[in-house]
Amino acid sequence: MKYIGKKLITMLITVLIVTMLVFLAFRVIPGDPVSNMLGTSYTAEKAARLRTQLGLDRPLPVRYAEWMKDFFFGDMGKSYTYGIPVRPMLAGKVPITVTLTLISFLLVVAISIPLGIYTAKHEDKWYSKAIDVLNQITMAVPPFFAGMIFTYLFGLILKWFRPGGFVNYSIDPVGFVLYLICPSICIALPKAAMTVRLLKSSVLGESRLDYVRTAYSRGNSTNEVLYKHVFRNALIPVITFLGVTLADIVAGSIIVEQVFSIPGLGRLLITSISTRDYPVAQAIIAIIACIVIIINFAVDILYKVIDPRIR
Amino acid sequence: MKKRLLTILSVLLTLTIALGGCSGRKAGDSSRITVGIPQDLEDSLDPHKAAAAGTREVLFNVFEGLLKPDVNGDLIPAVAKEYTVSEDGLTYSFILREGVKFHDGSPVTAEDVKYSIEKSAGMTGEESLIAAFSNISRVDKVSDTQVDIVLKENDVDFPAYLASVNAAVIPAANAAPDVTPIGTGPYKYVSRSPQENIIMQRFDDYWGEKAYIKDVEFKVEAGDAMIMDLKGGSIDMCARVSVTQVKQLGDEFDMYEGSMNLVQALYLNNAVKPFDDLKVRQAMCYATDTQEILDLAFDGYGAPIGSSVFPAFGKYFIPELADKYPRDIAKAKELLKEAGYPNGFDMTITVPSNYIPHVDTAQVLVQQLKEVGINATIDQVEWNTWLSDVYAGRKYESTVIGVDASSMTAEALLGRFYSKADNNFTNYSNPEYDKLYEESKVTLDDSKRTELFKAMETLLAEDAANVYIQDMAEFVPMNKKYEGYVFYPLYVQDIARIKLK
Amino acid sequence: MNIKSFILKNKRLAIGGSITAIMVILAVTGLFFTPYDPNAMDISAKLSGISPRHIMGCDNFGRDIFSRVLAGLSTTMVVAVGTVFIGIVFGTLIGAFTGYYGGYLDEIMMRFNDAVLAFPSLLLALVFISVMGSGKLNVTIALGILFIPSYARIMRGEFLKCRNLDYVMSARLMGASDMRIMFVHILPNTVRVMLSTIAIGFNNAVLAEAGMSYLGIGVQPPDASLGRMLSEAQSYLFVRPGYAVCTGMAIVLLILGFSMLSEGLEKNA
């Protein structure tokens, strides 16, 4: 209980620091939302009036405190550029990015865990070595490059999917998920390769330990030892890694959203930063930070479940 | 452990499939078109707040003013049936067209018109996007079918501003024009999803010639991916694609060729050194080769221009000005020497990074200027920074941009070089020019006005106010299923005229 | 052990080493010499294919792609080295002080670190770049700053571990100053960890630079950058798929070579 309480406080502090950083950053970025709203009819007087209307002339700490208070009660304000409330706007975007992240993550797990154990088990076979080589190469391919190659190969030559044929989940959930598969693979491949590598060495390292030898000498079968003892322990570093990976995937999805033109949080974030749409950008950054922190938290809890030695 | 994991995985998979199975794609749409736009409308959908040209060109399909432009850029009556101007030129009386309905079914009343003009002119507390509307003294509802607009000063160009989307007629009863845009145009707004799309549907009670295609989706698509999407079939047409991109598309598309109707130039801040020196500006004009820019960055397409007017302005346009400064390295170097820069100088070209053609142009310019010893570097900035630093703040040395005309008036292009103009972002200042401009404001005779504008145009070229480049060519690839795309001399996408073959 | 058997035994090191060596040679060459001026435009060669004159063809401005790949490689390399350098120097300093002294300073720094680490680094880079403006130097600084927290955390762990070891205790008893203990006694013992961190960091920096330039917020044109070239190549995938492939492969090989080299070294260390 004390542990969870401490973690919660850490989470809160982290969110506070992240949002404060964002507030400060926007303060020093040149340009403000007003110039976007007025476009080429910008004049100094008009801009000043509009700034007052938006409350941008008030001191920064006041604005921050107010934003924090509203955010806490679920009110994210109104977008400057779009003129519509932020919350319903993001409500439509979060599922897209979360689905993309989840599919990618599931792919990482689904590919890497069986493959990692398999290569560890058949360490000396030629196909295990071939997988190793493949792994090494896959790790070096940046998702956006993979995205381009995939679009060209599978989208335009083989016509397995329609480039840019994104459909919203509210219209066609199947098409939505299907379209996300290719981008997910691009995100997942290098991460899966790294996980396979890690899992393999972790399993191998673990199986050389004394307790495993003892287990074998007692006459246990290979599989039983592997799954009952080795795998469980070998999983710990892998879980840490997967936790970090999930956060990476959230970030990676921003670039991949751009390559595959998926209208998720990433694209909205990039444009809201460039139009200085503070309410939208702040809300998205706070949400992403919360997601990442919650993931880290979940990883910590998982640790305790798997390995009670960790305190 | 493995088993448990597998269970979780399979449950998740079944869940997605089950969820997906609930609803399929609605098939059998009669007519629909997906139009690719390279940037989202990062604007409010309230027409009076639509600051970006990209927003206005899309909203053109939803909103109309009392008047609207036709394909030639001439004004035709829209919500108003006709109008008269009083003797003194100060009172404009508009007779409303009968039977014009808003998209929500309610009829357009004189109150709606009064409300719209007042709101658009900034008389109800919002900021007006049409500077010329500060000239409106009051708006009167004379009868149920007549509205008078009274001006403070004479302005011959006034009706042209009423045709802008920023002066659209909207219902007074709509409390939230930001969220639920309602207009009188051939298409009605259905929904929008930021960074994804805007969906419109044909308005069957439209007063004029009804649109052909029923469902229209404006799909936001990053510039680089646009070609793949066209090729892959998820986009049917897209405006403003580069020639090189167009060439990759092949026979599945019809190619419409027009011009963008803007003045692309290397705009110089005439107030900062060394660009305050006429010789330096002329040297830069001699140093650049427009045709080479067109060949390298635009595959040879585009109309070279030599001043701040583009060809669509028929009677004001002087084509000869484009040849005023042919490429002449020796002369450029000579002029630089006379100006006191025998070894050239360093300069910065600020370019908004979202406009790839301008970035490309700047890259060619850097190479060309290098040959006369001018060492230019490109500074790419975000559009927002460009607006606040370059356009509004005038804190820059030079910039490549295309300036469009918000209305079909020479004023829209030439007014910004008046030394006291709010939007004179190049800080150009010439008393002679100011005199001509002031004279044009009070001249009513059309041929005399035309002469004055031509004189201003020539003066800009003689002063080498900027390094004028071209009116960019515009290519619109459209899937062969459709036909009927038309170009306007203004920044407009008229979807209502597109039909299935 | 003689060199021949050493290399045979450690193929990863051999292959990774050779790829990295080639890439470094190419990048260094790109700094001083390219077959063509990477920015020189030639209309007649616009989007031309592979030919003896242009071994990778030309881009949409008629610029020689091979020359641009060379120049792009050196840009990427310089940014990556600079980034890792900033990250490791400041990361080590912060890690040393917080790890060695502990206490409130440590607590505050680590909470701050947590916050920054909880945040997708690309986004922070985006914010930094909006503040400082884009360009080679600014990208290096922005990425460098972003790398500090993770380096600081790793180095802190090392210093924390060594703080109470016998040899440190005895050095303290002998009257060595804290500075001396930190940087003369403990620092050399962290080299192994530091090296593997640098290896991972280098690859992350290459990826981050390419990603940012791909999004258009990194290195400015006309400076060549692999990420930026890749995004330009995307528009011409149909006519010149080779443009994208050549550029992309340069990134892949750079990362592949370095990661194999570092893993090979680790295995032998």
> What are the DSSP E strand ranges found in B346-428?
346-352, 375-381, 398-404
| Residue B345: band (very low, low, confident or very high) from pLDDT cuts 50, 70, 90 | very high
For residue A311, count CB atoms less than 10 angstroms from its CB and return exposed for 0-12, middle for 13-18, buried for 19 or more.
exposed
Per DSSP, the residues of C24-35 read: HHHHHHHHH--S
> Among the three residues B167, B197, B226, which one is the final residue of a domain in this structure?
B167
Indicate the number of domains in chain A.
1
Taking CA–CA distances from A250, the nearest residue in chain C reads C120
Higher per-residue pLDDT: B52 or B471: B471
- Whether pLDDT at B151 is above 90: yes
Tell me which DSSP letter residue C216 carries: T
pLDDT of B74 reads 86
H and E: helices and strands count for chain C:
11, 0
pLDDT of B223 reads 67
* B252 and B362 inside one domain: no
Query: Is C256 an 8 Å CB contact of chain A?
Result: yes
- Average pLDDT of the segment spanning B352-367: 88
- Does A252 reside within a domain? yes
* B323 and B369 inside one domain: yes
Determine the Cα–Cα distance for residues B197 and B219; give it in Å rounded to an integer. 4
Say which CATH number the domain at B111 has: 3.40.190.10
- Whether pLDDT at A14 is above 50: yes
* B208 and B304 inside one domain: no
pLDDT of C3 reads 62
Please give the model's pTM, rounded to 2 decimal places. 0.82
- Does A102 reside within a domain? yes
Determine the Cα–Cα distance for residues B204 and B210; give it in Å rounded to an integer. 7
- Average pLDDT of the segment spanning C117-132: 71
Full residue range of the structural domain in which residue B153 is found: 67-167
List pLDDT tens digits, range A179-228: 899 999 999 998 899 889 888 888 888 777 777 777 777 777 667 766 76
Say which CATH number the domain at B310 has: 3.10.105.10
- Does A89 reside within a domain? no
Which domains occur in chain C, in start order? Answer: 8-267 (1.10.3720.10)
pLDDT of A170 reads 83
* B460 and B492 inside one domain: no
Which residues of chain B are within 8 Å of residue A90 when distances are taken between CB atoms? none
Token pair, residue C226, equals 């692999």
Phi, psi (5° rounding) for residue C133? Answer: 90, 155
* B484 and B427 inside one domain: no
List pLDDT tens digits, range B261-282: 889 999 999 999 899 999 999 9
Sequence-distant (≥ 6) Cβ neighbours of residue B70 within 8 angstroms: B76
* B249 and B127 inside one domain: no
Which residues of chain B are within 8 Å of residue C236 when distances are taken between CB atoms? 244, 248
Sequence-distant (≥ 6) Cβ neighbours of residue A97 within 8 angstroms: A250, A253, A257, A264, A265, A266
Q: Which of A14, A17, A148 sits opposite C237 (nearest CB)?
A: A148
- Does A68 reside within a domain? no
> What's the gap in Å between the CA of B41 and the closest CA on chain C?
20
> Among the three residues B117, B137, B167, which one is the final residue of a domain in this structure?
B167
- Whether pLDDT at C118 is above 70: no
pLDDT of B466 reads 95
Determine the Cα–Cα distance for residues A17 and A11; give it in Å rounded to an integer. 10
- Whether pLDDT at B29 is above 60: no
Which element (helix H / strand E) includes B107? Answer: none
- Alpha-carbon dihedral angle through residues C74, C80, C82, C85, given to the nearest 10 degrees: -140
Mutation site for B-interface testing, chosen from A32, A35, A89, A254 by largest number of B Cβ within 10 Å: A35
ipTM exceeds 0.85:
no
Q: How far is CA A127 from CA A121, A122, A199, B330, in A?
A: 12, 8, 17, 69
- Does A121 reside within a domain? yes
> Among the three residues B141, B167, B193, which one is the final residue of a domain in this structure?
B167
- Does A202 reside within a domain? yes
- Average pLDDT of the segment spanning B330-334: 94
- Average pLDDT of the segment spanning B347-368: 89
* B292 and B229 inside one domain: no
Full residue range of the structural domain in which residue A194 is found: 94-263
| Residue B111: band (very low, low, confident or very high) from pLDDT cuts 50, 70, 90 | very high
Tell me which DSSP letter residue A262 carries: -
- Helix boundaries (H) for B33-191: 53-59, 110-120, 158-162
- Average pLDDT of the segment spanning C25-49: 82
Q: Which amino acid is at A88?
A: P
Inter-chain contact C41–B364, Cβ cutoff 8 Å? yes
Which of B154, B158, B157 lies closest to B442, judged by CA?
B154
pLDDT of B102 reads 95
- Whether pLDDT at A244 is above 80: no
Which residue do the tokens 């009392």 mark?
B66
- Maximum distance among all Cα pairs of chain B, rounded to whole angstroms: 91
Mutation site for A-interface testing, chosen from B39, B128, B134, B196 by largest number of A Cβ within 10 Å: B196
Which of A253, A291, A12, A249 lies closest to A109, judged by CA?
A249
pLDDT of B132 reads 85
- Cα angle value A302/A306/A309 (rounded, 5°): 110
pLDDT of C169 reads 84
Residues B70-93 as b/e (b if ≥16 CB within 10 A, e otherwise) read eeebebebbbbeebeeeeeebebb
Maximum mean pLDDT: which of A125-139, B10-24, B331-345? B331-345
Q: Is beta strand B398-404 parallel, antiparallel or unpaired with respect to B467-471?
A: unpaired
H and E: helices and strands count for chain B:
14, 21
Q: Which amino acid is at C84?
A: V
- Whether pLDDT at B20 is above 50: no
- Does B180 reside within a domain? no
Taking CA–CA distances from A22, the nearest residue in chain C reads C127
- Does B158 reside within a domain? yes
Using omega within 30 degrees of 0 as the cis cutoff, is the peptide bond preceding B274 cis?
A: yes
Other beta carbons within 10 Å of B36: 27
Say which CATH number the domain at A229 has: 1.10.3720.10
- Does B177 reside within a domain? no
Which element (helix H / strand E) includes A71? Answer: helix A60-72
Token pair, residue B216, equals 């229209």
> What are the DSSP E strand ranges found in B221-268?
237-238, 253-259, 262-268
* B113 and B25 inside one domain: no
pLDDT of B292 reads 92
* B355 and B495 inside one domain: no
Higher per-residue pLDDT: C268 or A85: A85
Inter-chain contact B224–C235, Cβ cutoff 8 Å? yes
* B344 and B464 inside one domain: yes
- Whether pLDDT at C146 is above 50: yes
- Does A40 reside within a domain? no
- Whether pLDDT at B486 is above 60: yes
- Does A255 reside within a domain? yes
Sequence-distant (≥ 6) Cβ neighbours of residue B92 within 8 angstroms: B83, B84, B85, B86, B148, B149, B150, B151, B158, B159
> What's the gap in Å between the CA of C120 and the closest CA on chain A?
5
To the nearest whole number, what is the mean pLDDT of chain C?
83
Which of C162, A129, C240, C18 lies closest to B248, judged by CA?
C240
- Average pLDDT of the segment spanning C75-96: 92
Tell me which DSSP letter residue B97 carries: P
> What's the gap in Å between the CA of B160 and the closest CA on chain A?
17
* B267 and B386 inside one domain: yes
The answer to whether the CB of B275 falls within 8 A of the CB of B269 is yes
- Average pLDDT of the segment spanning A301-311: 65
Mean pLDDT lowest among A78-87, B77-86, B337-346: A78-87
Inter-chain contact A288–C127, Cβ cutoff 8 Å? no
* B304 and B391 inside one domain: yes
Inter-chain contact A29–C248, Cβ cutoff 8 Å? no
Higher per-residue pLDDT: C118 or B12: C118
Mutation site for C-interface testing, chosen from B224, B252, B368 by largest number of C Cβ within 10 Å: B224
Indicate left, alpha or beta for B340 from its phi (over 0: left) and psi (-120 to 50: alpha): left
Indicate the number of domains in chain B.
3
Interface subset of C 197-236, CB within 8 angstroms of B = 216-217, 220-222, 231, 234-236
Which residue do the tokens 């804190």 mark?
B395
Name B149's bridge partners: B92, B139
- Whether pLDDT at A309 is above 70: no
- Whether pLDDT at C256 is above 50: yes
Mean pLDDT lowest among A276-280, B373-377, C193-197: C193-197
- Does B346 reside within a domain? yes
List pLDDT tens digits, range B394-419: 999 999 999 988 777 888 899 999 99
Q: Please, which chains are in contact with C (at least 3 CB pairs closer than 8 A)? A: A, B
- Average pLDDT of the segment spanning B137-150: 93
